[in-house]
Structure 1
Amino acid sequence: MKLHLKHLLLVLLLAGGSAVAQDESYDPKLALKLGADAYGMKNYILVILKTGDTQMEDKAKRDKIFAGHMENIKKMAESEKLAVAGPFGKNENAFRGLYIFNVTSMEEAKELVSSDPTVAAGLLKAEYYPWYGSAAMGQVNEIHNKIAKEKF
């Protein structure tokens, strides 16, 4: 048994192979474009937006600020810095929405969030977390634009 295992390892080494299987559908150009590691994953910054400390009774002003929030999301997505965004349903944690940023630093994510009118107005506040997920997230906005019948 030991002899067969040694022969198998020798054949793999001589053939330049690896004991780890590689899927034949692997696209190295796409992996490079999306910044994927060997597992097809990469690091992101996950931001949870929670209800802020500011209460705003003026509905027209509040609506204008949230319209700016949506415009800002669109701008960040177009710049490819924002991989995904979306709201939460009602919950006990005051979670309102999330951003997953395709950036390399927490500081860059904080700078992007500071451009959000709802955060600047104190209607929302942000919590930041490093997150490791599929590099395919880099294609979500492109695909979303193809399937969204109506735009914000």
Structure 2
Amino acid sequence: MKKPLLILVFLVMSTIGFAQESEAKYDENLAKSLHADEYGMKKYVFCLLKSGSNTTASKEETKKLFAGHMENIGKLAKEGKLVVAGPFMKNDKNYRGIFIFNVETIEEAKALVATDPAIKANLLEAELTPWYCTAALQEIPKLHEKIAKTKM
């Protein structure tokens, strides 16, 4: 009887300790550095990438343009202007990928989209919309660097 009771007490105490550790405390400096509002949120621009109208590009040209597309993604991420980017899996909607730009306006995002060779060549089409999300999203690139064994 003592052993099961001891295990139960240990489990309860562990759960209480875990609950106390997981209770986050507000970090005003971090919130300010991420431009978070009182809810810890901020404005971004969400970009849905779709197949573009250019269907005549050669395989060699397409390969070159997508290499530039990837370089541009890296550049914008390093500048802090792009916090998330990634392709969609095969789908029947012509959706190719997403960008989440760390800017507040569609105009700012249009300027960033204009730097992408695959979009300029109409291999991809960008659909932009304002988006409101956690300001912590900006921390994703830093975390990704820590978990990506192979770099692009």
2:15 is aligned with 1:32: no
| Pair 29,96 (structure 1): closer, same or farther in 2 beyond 3 Å | same
8 Å CA contact 2:104, 2:130 repeated in 1: no
Which residue pairs with 2:88 in the alignment? 88
8 Å CA contact 2:46, 2:99 repeated in 1: yes
Q: Alignment length, in residue pairs?
A: 130
1 CA distance for matches of 2:135 and 2:74?
20
Scaled by the length of structure 2, what TM-score is found? 0.82
Q: Percent identity?
A: 51
Counterpart residue identity of residue 151, structure 1: K
- Aligned residue runs from structure 1 range 83-122, under 5 A: 83-122=83-122
8 Å CA contact 1:56, 1:62 repeated in 2: no
List per-residue Cα deviations over 1:56-91 (Å, max 9, x = no partner): 452121111101000000000000010101011112
Which residue pairs with 1:10 in the alignment? none
**Deviation of residue 145 (structure 1)?**
1.0
| Structure 1 consecutive aligned stretches of length 4 or more whose deviation exceeds 3 Å | none
Question: SS of the residue aligned with 1:37?
Answer: coil
Question: SS of the residue aligned with 2:49?
Answer: strand
2 CA distance for matches of 1:33 and 1:133?
16
**Deviation of residue 43 (structure 1)?**
0.7
- Aligned residue runs from structure 1 range 72-83, under 5 A: 72-83=72-83
1 CA distance for matches of 2:99 and 2:57?
26
- Aligned residue runs from structure 1 range 40-59, under 5 A: 40-59=40-59
List per-residue Cα deviations over 1:16-55 (Å, max 9, x = no partner): xxxxxxx761111000001111111111000000000001
CA RMSD of aligned residues (A): 1.2
Scaled by the length of structure 1, what TM-score is found? 0.82
Question: SS of the residue aligned with 2:64?
Answer: helix
Q: Please list every run of 5 or more consecutive structure 1 residues that lacks an aligned counterpart in the other structure.
A: 1-22
